[in-house]
Amino acid sequence: MTQKEIALLFAYIYNNRVRLEDEKRHLQSNIRFRDADDVDCLELIKATQYLNAFKEITTDIRHLLGFFSDEDEK
């Protein structure tokens, strides 16, 4: 992979992870500050599972490409 491709990959991972974490945080605040209904809870579950899956998949990709530092494994 070229340096540009590596930079694009890491930018993609970072930007999407931040977006997913913000979405989860927003849904959590909705539940805290108002009466939560079933849909609110399901949306939070979905956002949490999507974030967890994204983290797992991107970790696997970084392992396969050899971009996983020793600090990240801890």
Q: Which DSSP string corresponds to 22-71? A: HHHHHHHHHHHHS---HHHHHHHHHHHHHHHHHHHHHHHHHHHHT---HH
For the stretch 25-48, what's the b/e string if a residue is b when 16 or more beta carbons lie within 10 angstroms of its beta carbon?
A: eebeeeeeeeeeeeeeeebbeebe
Spatial separation of the C-alpha atoms in residues 10 and 74, rounded to whole Å = 19
The model's pLDDT over 7-45, given as tens digits with 9 standing for 90+, comes to: 999 999 999 999 999 999 999 998 888 888 899 999 999
Spatial separation of the C-alpha atoms in residues 40 and 60, rounded to whole Å = 30
What pTM was computed for the model?
Answer: 0.81
When pLDDT is cut at 50, 70 and 90, the band that residue 73 belongs to is low
